[in-house]
Structure 1
Amino acid sequence: MEYKYEIIRSQDSFPIKAFTHSINRFEMHWHKEVEILLVLQGSVNIRVGNERYLLQEDDLILINRNEIHNTNKTEEDNILFALQINPEYYATHYPQIKKIVFDCKSFLHGKNEQKRFDTIRGYLAQIVWELNKKREGYQLTIGSIVYLLAAYLVDNFDYVLIEDKKEAIMSKNIIRIQSIIEYINDNLEKKVTLKDIADNQNLSIYYLSHFIKENMGMSFQEYLNNIRLDKAVYLLLNTNKTITELSYESGFSSTKSFNKLFKDTYCFTPTEYRKKCGDKTNNSEDNDKELEKKKSKTYLDVDRSAAFKKLFSYLNPLDNKVKDNNRSLIDSEAIFVDVNNGGLEYKPYWKKLTTFGRASEGLRQKWQGQLKEMQEDIGFEYIRFHGIFSDDMMVYNIDDDGNIVYNWSYVDELFDFFKKVNIKPFVELGFMPSEIKSSDEVMFWWKANVSQPRDIKLWTNLVKEFIKHCINRYGFKEVETWYFEVWNEPDLEYAFWIGNRESYFKFYEETVLAIKSISSKLRVGGPSITHQITMDETWLEDYFIYCKTNKVPLDFVSLHIYPESFSSKEEVEDIRMKAKLGEDSLKLMTDWKLLKRIYFDKNHTCDILSSANKKINMFLTNKPELHITEWNASSCCGNLINDTCFVAAFIISNILKNIGKTDSMGFWTFTDIMEETKAGISEFHGGFGLISKNGLKKPSYLAYYLLSKLGQRIIKQDDEYIVTKEDENIQMLVYNYAYFDDLFLNGDTSALLNTERYLVFEDKPSKIVKINISGLSGYYKITRYQLNREHGSVVDAWINMGTPENMTEEEVRYLKGKSYPKINIEYLDISGDYKDEVCVPIHGAELIVLDKKIG
């Protein structure tokens, strides 16, 4: 058996078929295409005709058309890249190509001769790169590479031309071999003999024996043993059949003969081999589930990223220009705007909410300086965070006499600072103080306890005392404007909630009733669950039904949206089971981080919001507010895309496309000063934040800065631009949003490097936009803000600087000067039309603001 990931399927109009695969079983075949095999990982046995070879990592072999070859795994796992080329593609211009037999085997040559093969490896990598990017006209590019590859083979490798007569004999032999193999496969469970086949083919036994040996590279008995052993190994590892049962099913005459051949081949008895690879003879339900999991697991789950990283390493000796994502032709668009268009009212819903990691982080001076500056630049209304009751806030205390003593000092310090910078708390009620926990399960480096309270009254009393204290300090009128969200991601059982959904529903009910007992005007909601559970299960619907049936107040619905899902639900369940069994929490955090992530398409945020609104309208009579209390371009802290210009375009595109679908969309998080895991070492380690740990504003921050300058009415909006108006001033924002390429979407991160972070995106051209704004009259100040990799991308400036770590104050000051859009200003008298032209590169944005002045 071989597991295969096809990069492209061969089509009549396309000359190639490219894929990576992993060989697990014996396989003999041939085909009309020329095939180039490159070992990316491990090793594999291959036999071509009568010759047998061991191919190891980096080894390359060309298999000519209609050459019979078989492959078999070694003790190592393997990943191979295969490129199959249809010779008919060249036939018009080079007819003799169909008769050529090349001698191209890298492993038969020393290091000094590998440059010839490196060029071939480079062509293979270049083909995959172009297939992945799918630039306009990529089929032509690949076609040209395939021609160059063929020309290189002809010029640099030995070959012979097959005569017509010999080719006819070969074709006839291929037909006969195919018939022989089909007969053997159809009669494998019987005691098929050479005489049976000879009779079937009307040949003598002597002729048939030599024919098989000459054309298949092995004797009849050797081939029969191979395919019987191959079937036996498959049954051994993928079924619960006994050794006797599977030996007879595989066609062996006795268990004794099977055992002897198996041990001679694998150095283990069948029983030892089964135990070594995982015993599946138990018929229990658990083992059946484990069997299904094993059957579904392929090399794609774990090793493909490393394989592509290896493949793309071959680009360097050939052509670094292949990595240039901006080589496409420029796209152009014309926009005509009449400012007399009344337009639609626009409320910047995205300013409703921002977020940070945990409450105690907000007590730090550097953190407070960053929030203060962001409020001055942009001005968010609310801020959400974890851990208001966690141990490091020291809220819950027991004195020497066993009495509960609440300490609100750190809460007051944090909330007082919020008031000072004009932002309100969006309070996530969690996690559990150690004094009232029911168990020791924790998440994050800072050990947030995720268990339920040992007594619900201890929890509800804590919540009520917290609310009372806030009211006494800040006043009823103020606290009634806040939001109170019950817990965080309870759908991730044994990760953020020790219990099931029903236990959360009851916990939510008790918490809401405790808060509402103080004031019915206090706003409480939940369930703060992930997009994945919203898509895949009825969790949200069940929550709505519970609240409606039991008349539990629900003032707002909160969800989290990230663009990734986990590649394997089984792996997720494994981690949850480890958590349930009490495995170390920090190790579990590492396991979560190591899960391969598969990305949804670029409309994912929009799709989740549409689905959520549909469910709210279907199940709830009084429509509550909808708040997205966590949202980002990645759910992984440490994803290097988080620092790039891509996230700026991601933010702008999604915010503008989802106007009217949600009441807030809080980007997780505003700063890299956060410690879910240990603090990032590098300044640009892929942290979630809009701002780096030293206060450097990333492109994502500048996206919000540009959005904050839009007006209160939308007079025109379409794909990748918006025009707004405020009084007599006009604002126009144009952006160029490109999403991930196919490989990255499917979990491959091999092209994402610390110093090269833009190779994982689809290719798009720069966008030229011609603007005509009519209906203007007067004297205007025209300000242009340009945000792209050249202007405002501090991570690109840091890379160009040489990626310094542990930066000096001078280096940080230099980069702060680079973390701002380019600004151009001019003044014009305008009567009628304003015409302009902007060129926005991929991942870029440009804002033009026309402010009317008194002339």
Structure 2
Amino acid sequence: MRVIVPEHSTGRLPDAWRACVGTGRFELGLRKDYQDSLALIQREIGFRHIRGHGLLSDGVGVHRPYEYGGSRHVRHAFTYVDQVVDAYLELGIAPFLELGFMPEDLASGDQTIFWWRGNVTPPRSWTEWATLVRSTVAHLVDRYGLDQVRQWPIEVWNEPNLKDFWQGADEDAYHRLYEVTAHAVKEVDASLHVGGPAISPGADEWMDRFIEFVTARSVPVDFVSRHAYTSGPSQHVPFGVYQTLAPASELLAQFARPREQLRGTPLADLPVHITEFNSSYRPDNPVHDTAFHAAYLAPVVAAGGDFVDSFSYWTFSDMFEEVGVPTTLFHGGFGLLTHRQIKKPTFHLYSFMARMGDQVLTRGDDHLVTRDPAGRVTVLAWAPVREDGQTLKLSLPMPGAVSAFALRSSVSEEAGNPWRAWCEMGRPPSPREHQLDALRAAAEPAVSHHALPVTAGRADLDLTLDRHEVTLVEVTPVVTDETPPWWDESRLFQEHS
């Protein structure tokens, strides 16, 4: 059955998919290889914001207590903050600020998380915490300007509903943290945007009670945030895990949930940000490296903007280190890129989205068709996961064209799949330079092109997709054939005596 694509747009394609992307801890932004990777991401995809943990952790060195004159004082130092934020802005991306974790000298306990030991206990002095928040935000406003910083959302903590991220998962203590922090932010300037509660999946009741709390106490809140993952419990192996995955549609259901919870409340019109999403919540799950993963997430990335204002892929790069320094190049990291800037298939899902038009013509369970202002029609299509492939037949509107040029780019189990190439190499933990060159070549999409005849203003496009293939077809109308009259291809390769 052929899908007849309408000539007129049904609406604009939301760009919530590119509003934000995740990153490893804040100070990794000081590294050259990190900045090189982010530059590549920005050239080929172009995200607007970047969010990660650890802005206030000891590795960044903002909170610096000292003794002088027989009493304790605190100095706030922004040496590393400035270098990282400067690098972000030079690359055309701005911070989505997450306020956490607790500086050790301000913490009320010694519970930490991750290999790099982020402290997850409440402050022992709420006054000193508020001063730290005010000082940090005020510094950013002073350095980068209020007009700039008011466009940077400020999120309070990360997944406080989990005892690993917030001591005892103490909800009352989080509410106090949020209240003190939100007021401290607004004391710098009332136009700054602050929100939370940044909860993990499976904690809907936290969102309900957060809404009740901020409403009852008139606590400032400019957006709500949560996270979305679809993986089950971890089955651990050395340096990795395996997990079952729920259908990808469950991610969209999680995206939709905050708006449902806000409906009928005084906060009904607030923006909703999914500040982390992925299939697995583990940074050592091999599924992240596969072609399966791109096909699995394709319907989510194509449709997620219908439910939320932003959804942030966790993360742009495998430079991450929550469970330690990776032991191999491909290790199941969250990144769109590996270390050494090798593009995974999911990178290309995003780069394909970046080449789509902004006018939606039609969409289906396995495709999205758009058009740009120049009349170029773009088709993103994907094969359903765990199936052998897919066939899709489309009739595309090409008004005024005499023919059309179709450029197709694809990733699949066989194409644009460096993980598969790495496996075939014998899984070298530290590939040599010639192996890295081969992996980078294997990471590029398969590209083909052909002419499409146009009849009565329409061009038929027939696609056969391989297993776990994601493909982008860019169809450009040819309005005028500018071939010179003397051109004769039949004579091009003739032999002469």
1:777, 1:830 within 8 Å by CA — same for their partners in 2? no
Tell me the equivalent position of 2:223.
556
1:185-219 deviations in Å (ceiling 9; x for gaps): xxxxxxxxxxxxxxxxxxxxxxxxxxxxxxxxxxx
Pick the aligned partner of 1:792 from 377, 392, 416. 416
- The change in CA–CA distance for 1:540 and 1:596 in structure 2 (over 3 A counts) is farther
- The change in CA–CA distance for 1:407 and 1:734 in structure 2 (over 3 A counts) is same
Pick the aligned partner of 2:2 from 329, 334, 349. 334
1:601 to partner: Cα distance = 3.4
Tell me the equivalent position of 1:301.
none
Q: How far apart, CA to CA, are the structure 2 residues paired with 1:828 and 1:720?
A: 22
| Higher-RCO chain (CA-CA 8 Å, sequence separation at least 6) | 2
Q: How far apart, CA to CA, are the structure 2 residues paired with 1:394 and 1:611?
A: 37
1:487 to partner: Cα distance = 0.2
Tell me the equivalent position of 1:771.
394
Pick the aligned partner of 1:699 from 345, 359, 364. 345
1:491, 1:497 within 8 Å by CA — same for their partners in 2? no
Tell me the equivalent position of 1:617.
263
Tell me the equivalent position of 2:490.
none
1:723 to partner: Cα distance = 0.8
- Tell me whether 1:523 sits opposite 2:203 in the alignment: no
- For structure 2, the 5+ residue unaligned runs are 481-497
- The change in CA–CA distance for 1:687 and 1:494 in structure 2 (over 3 A counts) is closer
- What amino acid maps onto 1:379 in structure 2? G
Q: How far apart, CA to CA, are the structure 2 residues paired with 1:643 and 1:565?
A: 18
2:452, 2:460 within 8 Å by CA — same for their partners in 1? no
Q: How far apart, CA to CA, are the structure 1 residues paired with 2:75 and 2:438?
A: 49
1:646, 1:737 within 8 Å by CA — same for their partners in 2? no
Pick the aligned partner of 1:819 from 426, 434, 443. 443
- Tell me whether 1:456 sits opposite 2:126 in the alignment: yes
Tell me the equivalent position of 1:381.
48
- What amino acid maps onto 2:464 in structure 1? C
1:523 to partner: Cα distance = 0.4
Q: How far apart, CA to CA, are the structure 2 residues paired with 1:665 and 1:737?
A: 22
1:398 to partner: Cα distance = 2.2
1:453 to partner: Cα distance = 0.5
Q: How far apart, CA to CA, are the structure 2 residues paired with 1:829 and 1:671?
A: 42
- What amino acid maps onto 2:369 in structure 1? V
Q: How far apart, CA to CA, are the structure 1 residues paired with 2:331 and 2:267?
A: 46
1:658 to partner: Cα distance = 2.9
- The change in CA–CA distance for 1:597 and 1:732 in structure 2 (over 3 A counts) is closer
2:393, 2:462 within 8 Å by CA — same for their partners in 1? yes
Secondary structure at the counterpart of residue 776 of structure 1:
coil
After the TM superposition, which residues 665-680 of structure 1 pair with which residues of structure 2 at under 5 Å, given as runs? 665-680=311-326
1:72-112 deviations in Å (ceiling 9; x for gaps): xxxxxxxxxxxxxxxxxxxxxxxxxxxxxxxxxxxxxxxxx
Q: How far apart, CA to CA, are the structure 2 residues paired with 1:594 and 1:822?
A: 30
Tell me the equivalent position of 1:205.
none
1:671-700 deviations in Å (ceiling 9; x for gaps): 111110112111111111111112110001
Secondary structure at the counterpart of residue 560 of structure 1:
strand
1:334, 1:771 within 8 Å by CA — same for their partners in 2? yes
Q: How far apart, CA to CA, are the structure 1 residues paired with 2:210 and 2:242?
A: 29
Q: How far apart, CA to CA, are the structure 1 residues paired with 2:425 and 2:251?
A: 35
1:336 to partner: Cα distance = 1.9
Secondary structure at the counterpart of residue 515 of structure 1:
helix
- Tell me whether 1:365 sits opposite 2:32 in the alignment: yes
The alignment of Structure 1 onto Structure 2 pairs a total of residues equal to: 473
Q: How far apart, CA to CA, are the structure 2 residues paired with 1:566 and 1:560?
A: 17
- What amino acid maps onto 2:446 in structure 1? K
Tell me the equivalent position of 1:724.
370
- What amino acid maps onto 2:113 in structure 1? M
- The change in CA–CA distance for 1:601 and 1:853 in structure 2 (over 3 A counts) is closer
- Tell me whether 1:844 sits opposite 2:469 in the alignment: yes
Q: How far apart, CA to CA, are the structure 2 residues paired with 1:845 and 1:489?
A: 32
Q: How far apart, CA to CA, are the structure 2 residues paired with 1:594 and 1:639?
A: 6
- What amino acid maps onto 1:737 in structure 2? P
Q: How far apart, CA to CA, are the structure 2 residues paired with 1:797 and 1:776?
A: 43
1:335 to partner: Cα distance = 2.0
Q: How far apart, CA to CA, are the structure 2 residues paired with 1:460 and 1:710?
A: 44
1:729 to partner: Cα distance = 1.1
- What amino acid maps onto 1:387 in structure 2? G
1:213-242 deviations in Å (ceiling 9; x for gaps): xxxxxxxxxxxxxxxxxxxxxxxxxxxxxx
Identity of aligned residues (%): 28
Secondary structure at the counterpart of residue 92 of structure 2:
coil
- What amino acid maps onto 1:626 in structure 2? V
Q: How far apart, CA to CA, are the structure 2 residues paired with 1:783 and 1:594?
A: 38
After the TM superposition, which residues 193-592 of structure 1 pair with which residues of structure 2 at under 5 Å, given as runs? 333-338=1-6, 340-401=7-68, 402-498=72-168, 500-534=170-204, 538-566=205-233
1:825 to partner: Cα distance = 3.0
1:681-731 deviations in Å (ceiling 9; x for gaps): 111111111111121100011110111111111111111011101121101
After the TM superposition, which residues 142-221 of structure 1 pair with which residues of structure 2 at under 5 Å, given as runs? none
1:411-432 deviations in Å (ceiling 9; x for gaps): 0000000110010100100001
- The change in CA–CA distance for 1:594 and 1:694 in structure 2 (over 3 A counts) is closer
- The change in CA–CA distance for 1:477 and 1:774 in structure 2 (over 3 A counts) is closer
TM-score, normalization by structure 1: 0.54
Secondary structure at the counterpart of residue 619 of structure 1:
coil
1:827 to partner: Cα distance = 5.0
1:495 to partner: Cα distance = 3.9
Secondary structure at the counterpart of residue 392 of structure 1:
coil
1:766 to partner: Cα distance = 1.6
1:452, 1:498 within 8 Å by CA — same for their partners in 2? no
1:789 to partner: Cα distance = 1.4
- The change in CA–CA distance for 1:836 and 1:597 in structure 2 (over 3 A counts) is closer
Q: How far apart, CA to CA, are the structure 2 residues paired with 1:823 and 1:565?
A: 36
**Bigger share in helix:** 1
- What amino acid maps onto 2:412 in structure 1? N
Secondary structure at the counterpart of residue 532 of structure 1:
coil
1:341 to partner: Cα distance = 2.0
Q: How far apart, CA to CA, are the structure 2 residues paired with 1:800 and 1:349?
A: 37
TM-score, normalization by structure 2: 0.91
Tell me the equivalent position of 1:169.
none
- The change in CA–CA distance for 1:621 and 1:802 in structure 2 (over 3 A counts) is closer
Larger Rg computed on CA atoms: 1
1:556 to partner: Cα distance = 0.8
Tell me the equivalent position of 2:356.
710
1:652, 1:707 within 8 Å by CA — same for their partners in 2? no
Secondary structure at the counterpart of residue 220 of structure 2:
coil
Q: How far apart, CA to CA, are the structure 2 residues paired with 1:659 and 1:614?
A: 15
After the TM superposition, which residues 731-746 of structure 1 pair with which residues of structure 2 at under 5 Å, given as runs? 731-738=378-385
1:723, 1:731 within 8 Å by CA — same for their partners in 2? yes
Q: How far apart, CA to CA, are the structure 2 residues paired with 1:430 and 1:618?
A: 31
Secondary structure at the counterpart of residue 707 of structure 1:
helix
- The change in CA–CA distance for 1:373 and 1:471 in structure 2 (over 3 A counts) is same
Secondary structure at the counterpart of residue 618 of structure 1:
coil
Tell me the equivalent position of 1:639.
285
What's the C-alpha RMSD, in Å, of the aligned pairs?
Answer: 2.1
- The change in CA–CA distance for 1:709 and 1:542 in structure 2 (over 3 A counts) is same
Q: How far apart, CA to CA, are the structure 1 residues paired with 2:13 and 2:169?
A: 42
Q: How far apart, CA to CA, are the structure 2 residues paired with 1:594 and 1:799?
A: 16
1:780-813 deviations in Å (ceiling 9; x for gaps): 4321111111111110121223322211111101
- Tell me whether 1:682 sits opposite 2:328 in the alignment: yes
2:408, 2:472 within 8 Å by CA — same for their partners in 1? yes
